[in-house]
Amino acid sequence: MTKQIKKHEITDLDRKTIKQIAAKAKKIRRDMGYSYEEFALQANINRNTYFKFEKSATTGDNFTIVVLTKVIRGLNQTFESFFQVIK
């Protein structure tokens, strides 16, 4: 018997939200004066992983909650403040 793997489909609404989250993080990072490499180091995230996270602002690709948590903490934000204007 072969194991069936379920593929998670991302809805258009979810993809829009993912893009908003990544775009907001990118804007805050730039406002703080960090390059993406500097920020990845500061937030203890692999620079390729962070690059893919920011790329989500245009692609809407999914990222893990662990990466999101590290990004928000690296931006000196709380979850509440970060998501305040994202709906």
Which CATH number is associated with domain 12-82? 1.10.260.40
Rounded to whole angstroms, what are the CA distances from 52 to 3, 20, 36, 55, 81?
29, 14, 11, 5, 23
pLDDT per residue as tens digits for the range 14-35: 888 899 999 999 999 999 999 9
CA–CA dist 30, 27 (Å, integer): 5
Sequence-separated contacts (24+) of 49-53 with Cβ below 8 Å: 53/22, 53/25
From first to last of its 87 residues, the chain has per-residue pLDDT tens of 677 776 667 788 888 889 999 999 999 999 999 999 999 999 999 999 999 999 998 888 888 999 999 999 999 999 999 998 776
- For residue 42, the one-letter residue type is Q
Q: Where are the domains of the chain?
A: 12-82
